[in-house]
Chain A
Amino acid sequence: MNAVQSKADEILSEAAAVRWEAGPNFHDSLMETIYTDASQVADRAVSRTGEQPRFDLDRTIDRLLTSRWFGFPMMLFILTVVFWLTIEGANLPSSMLATLLIDNLHTTLKAGSADLGIPWWIDGFILDGLYLSAAWVIAVMLPPMAIFFPIFTLLEDFGYLPRVAFNLDNLFRKSGAHGKQALTMTMGFGCNAAAIVATRVIDSPRERLIAIITNNFALCNGRWPTQILVASIFIGGLAPAHLAGLVSAAAVVSIAVLGVVLTFVVSWTLSHTILKGEASAFSLELPPYRPPRVLRTIYTSMIDRTLIVLWRAVVFAIPAGAVIWLSSNIQVGGLSLAEHFIDFTNPFGLLLGLNGVILLAYVVAIPANEIVVPTILMLTVLSAKMAGLGDGAGVMFEPDESTTAAVFAAGGWTLLTAVNLMLFSLIHNPCSTTIYTIWKETRSAKWTTISALLPVGMGFVVCFVVAQVWRLLT
């Protein structure tokens, strides 16, 4: 050990001595040398053939997409079109899947198990709990994801994301955050956990923490279905039929935009309170536009994103289905566990413009945000004691919009409940995978706790304020 130590000291002291001779700005001279060498080698190797093309397509597109005036409207327009395509396109395949998996297959399985004389609790636990929750998640999530992810990936391949970052950079800087946060936020629209890993591109720990804490305000794909479903039932339902899709898409976009606004507000607040500091500069490269390789992109985004995300959702939905079924069927003092919880939290929920059912659903759905809506539907049926819907307590049933609307009506839902559900779905704690990722990245219990509790606290406050104002006005 000592030998190693002395050898090391020998080298280090020599380095210290020599550094004086090498000149005061060794780092700068070194960089300069590297740059000079690079430019000499490049000069010798590269030549231009012919004249510069007179019309530069990339420049022209950039001038439009990153324009001071058109940049933001173009962004909103592109987002709206993407969601409109998703909502309109997913309707038919969703209901077909529901018919297949829930109406037909589930009924057949139930009939089969009745014929075999399987006891009600085994059959209920497996078919009404485990199977139905998985089937529900597939029917609701697969079609929108199969449309949304390929379109989003095509935009990414084309080179649009860095332009979004460019447009937002100034706002991020003004909120005291790093401009690259625009990139990680955009990734958060896909998956918050993946985006949190991606914050590694941000060098400064302060700015990286801001990016991690606020990433939850980027609506992730687990929450898109909730937003899309609630928006199409309540908000699309207010509009004439031919506009319903567009109006719902606009509602979803507003929630997404609100998320972006909250990202700025919270970043600003953090960087002026517990994470004080100056925003550091960075250079953002706008890569050339590349024609996307359409077929390959569609294939890989189907396999890598859609199926993997779907698989994760199913894996989480199955145990959640079990929990729901059990909590609805285990009775204590004449009421099921779920009903006890709902009755207990209902006053608090109503104060927030939500209800006990929604709060319980969020507790059940901590592992995966995807299953919030199915849980709410099931629990609403249960607590409203609706006859003829679902085959008994704790059953998740089909996402048919008219039935869903009926369930909501029976549960005492109003437009306020819907709006607040959308708001709360945007502003609440990250899912357990994301929380775990935050811990892995920061290795800090303090910042993980803050990242988890800050949004849920804000969600309560926002919902409370909206509910009180709403009730004052109506």
Chain B
Amino acid sequence: MATETAAEGCEACPAHHAGNLIKLGVNMANWDYVVALAGNPNTGKSTVFNALTGLRQHTGNWPGKTVVRAEGGFSYNDGRYKLVDLPGTYSLLSTSLDEEVARDFILFGQPDVTVIVVDATRLERNLNLVIQVLEITDRAVVCLNLIDEAKRHGLQVDDRRLARDLGVPVVPTAARQDEGIPLLIETMSQVATGEVVCKPHRLQNETSAMRQAIGRLVDKIESVFPDLPNARWVALRLLDGDKRIVEAVRTGELGDLSRGMASGQEFMSEVAK
């Protein structure tokens, strides 16, 4: 019947599902998926966070506003999502407290999807972080935010090209105006549920010496921890002499990752101060 077809047509459309978004605020017991929000400072992470959770995490136009993790929840298509707003950082390599909070969560918290919010007007600098995050996790969505500002400055960002180069979905948004948020939710849920599988970008401009060294170490790590999801990244960190990761190898914390023990929920209760 005609009505049924119309209903089916609606079911297939993301706009229909966007209506199923229920903002849960801080009420988020028993979540099904954990979503991490990463990104450079002042790219609008907190604005995206507020748009999804209905919370009013304070936003401000200056870098470094969020220094602690903020958490909130939303429910979408019968799935309950827990959203974690990480401190804004330019990289995940150095050792300041906020970078460590962000890095540890993406690595040990093992979120089901990491949404990387980037500033469309400063894409190159923002991509440094994106590339580092993609080394850690396969499940990521790039939220190309401030697209309205980019237009105002006469910049055009080819989001499809970007998605192809990065190997993860890219969603253009203007979070302050709520533009693109429904599509962002749809996309992140597809990645979280495994409906969309990413083939993330890997470093391409390494020297051959680097490539060989990384390869050897990855082989070693994989032979010891066969199920570790990001052996390559661990290898990079060990070669860089990252004390935190050396420690994680030594204490067996990293081994727990490969056995899937450090699942999001346990991690929370352990790390929560």
Interface residues of A (CB under 8 A from B): 4-5, 7-8, 10-12, 14-15, 18-19, 21-23, 26-27, 29-53, 153, 156-159, 161-162, 165, 180, 183, 197-198, 200-201, 203, 284-285, 287-290, 293, 300, 303-305
Contact yes or no, A30 B236, CB < 8 A: yes
Contact yes or no, A26 B240, CB < 8 A: yes
How far, in whole Å, are A132 and B238 apart by their CA atoms in the complex? 63
How far, in whole Å, are A50 and B152 apart by their CA atoms in the complex? 11
Contact yes or no, A21 B212, CB < 8 A: yes
Contact yes or no, A48 B154, CB < 8 A: yes
Interface string of B44-66 (1 = CB under 8 A from A): 00000000000010111111110
Contact yes or no, B205 A45, CB < 8 A: no
Q: B149's contact among A43, A180, A290, by CB below 8 Å, is which?
A: A290
Q: Does B112 contact A (CB under 8 A)?
A: no
How far, in whole Å, are A197 and B125 apart by their CA atoms in the complex? 27
Q: Which residues of B contact A27 (CB under 8 A)?
A: 93, 240-241
Q: Which residues of B contact A5 (CB under 8 A)?
A: 250
Q: Which residues of B contact A34 (CB under 8 A)?
A: 128, 131-132, 203
Among residues of B, the one whose C-beta sits closest to the C-beta of A283 is B90
Q: Which residues of B contact A4 (CB under 8 A)?
A: 252, 255
15 example contacts (A-B, Cβ-Cβ < 8 A) are as follows A29-B207, A30-B93, A33-B207, A34-B203, A38-B128, A41-B165, A47-B156, A53-B154, A161-B60, A162-B63, A198-B65, A287-B42, A287-B62, A288-B121, A290-B61
Contact yes or no, B246 A12, CB < 8 A: yes
Given the known inter-chain contacts A30-B210, A41-B166, please indicate yes or no for A156 contacting B60, CB distance below 8 A: yes
Q: Which residues of B contact A11 (CB under 8 A)?
A: 217, 220-221, 224, 238, 249
How far, in whole Å, are A22 and B212 apart by their CA atoms in the complex? 8
Contact yes or no, A31 B123, CB < 8 A: no
Q: Which residues of A contact B125 (CB under 8 A)?
A: 38
What's the least CB distance linking A98 to chain B, in Å? 30
Contact yes or no, A52 B224, CB < 8 A: no
How far, in whole Å, are A399 and B209 apart by their CA atoms in the complex? 76
Q: Does B127 contact A (CB under 8 A)?
A: yes
A-B contact count (CB 8 A): 193
Q: A22's contact among B61, B210, B220, B221, by CB below 8 Å, is which?
A: B210
How far, in whole Å, are A471 and B242 apart by their CA atoms in the complex? 62
Q: Does B176 contact A (CB under 8 A)?
A: yes
Contact yes or no, B127 A38, CB < 8 A: yes
Contact yes or no, A42 B124, CB < 8 A: yes
Contact yes or no, B154 A52, CB < 8 A: yes
Q: Does B30 contact A (CB under 8 A)?
A: no
Q: Which residues of A contact B42 (CB under 8 A)?
A: 285, 287
Contact yes or no, B250 A37, CB < 8 A: no
Contact yes or no, A201 B64, CB < 8 A: yes
What's the least CB distance linking A355 to chain B, in Å? 40
How far, in whole Å, are A161 and B58 apart by their CA atoms in the complex? 15
Q: Which residues of B contact A15 (CB under 8 A)?
A: 217, 235, 238-239
Contact yes or no, A7 B224, CB < 8 A: yes
Interface residues of B (CB under 8 A from A): 41-42, 56, 58-65, 67-68, 87, 93-98, 121, 123-125, 127-128, 130-132, 149, 154-159, 161-162, 165-166, 176, 201, 203-207, 209-210, 212-214, 216-217, 220-221, 224-225, 235-236, 238-241, 246, 249-252, 255
Contact yes or no, B41 A285, CB < 8 A: yes
What's the least CB distance linking A382 to chain B, in Å? 41
Q: Which residues of B contact A43 (CB under 8 A)?
A: 124
Q: Which residues of B contact A153 (CB under 8 A)?
A: 60
Q: Which residues of A contact B128 (CB under 8 A)?
A: 34-35, 38
Among residues of B, the one whose C-beta sits closest to the C-beta of A4 is B252
How far, in whole Å, are A202 and B21 apart by their CA atoms in the complex? 37
Q: Which residues of B contact A304 (CB under 8 A)?
A: 56, 58
How far, in whole Å, are A18 and B234 apart by their CA atoms in the complex? 14
Contact yes or no, A38 B210, CB < 8 A: no
Residue of A201, A203, A293 ringed by the most chain B CB atoms within 10 A: A201
Given the known inter-chain contacts A29-B207, A33-B205, A47-B156, please indicate yes or no for A14 contacting B216, CB distance below 8 A: yes
Given the known inter-chain contacts A47-B156, A157-B61, A198-B64, please indicate yes or no for A37 contacting B131, CB distance below 8 A: yes
What's the least CB distance linking B34 to chain A, in Å? 23
Q: Which residues of B contact A183 (CB under 8 A)?
A: 62, 64
Q: Which residues of B contact A290 (CB under 8 A)?
A: 61, 149, 176
Q: B224's contact among A10, A18, A48, by CB below 8 Å, is which?
A: A10
What's the least CB distance linking A373 to chain B, in Å? 28
What's the least CB distance linking A214 to chain B, in Å? 18
Q: Which residues of A contact B156 (CB under 8 A)?
A: 46-49
Given the known inter-chain contacts A11-B249, A21-B212, A37-B204, please indicate yes or no for A45 contacting B158, CB distance below 8 A: yes
How far, in whole Å, are A168 and B45 apart by their CA atoms in the complex? 27
Contact yes or no, B203 A37, CB < 8 A: yes
Contact yes or no, B203 A41, CB < 8 A: no
How far, in whole Å, are A31 and B239 apart by their CA atoms in the complex? 13
Q: Which residues of A contact B95 (CB under 8 A)?
A: 203
Q: A21-B209, A48-B154, A304-B58 are in contact. List 12 more A-B contacts (CB 8 A).
A: A8-B250, A19-B213, A23-B209, A30-B210, A30-B240, A38-B124, A40-B205, A49-B155, A51-B154, A53-B154, A156-B61, A157-B61
How far, in whole Å, are A44 and B157 apart by their CA atoms in the complex? 9
How far, in whole Å, are A12 and B93 apart by their CA atoms in the complex? 19
What's the least CB distance linking A201 to chain B, in Å? 4
Q: Which residues of B contact A21 (CB under 8 A)?
A: 209, 212-213, 216
What's the least CB distance linking B247 to chain A, in Å? 10
What's the least CB distance linking A439 to chain B, in Å? 13
How far, in whole Å, are A21 and B127 apart by their CA atoms in the complex? 28
What's the least CB distance linking B198 to chain A, in Å? 15
How far, in whole Å, are A15 and B248 apart by their CA atoms in the complex? 14
Contact yes or no, B220 A10, CB < 8 A: yes
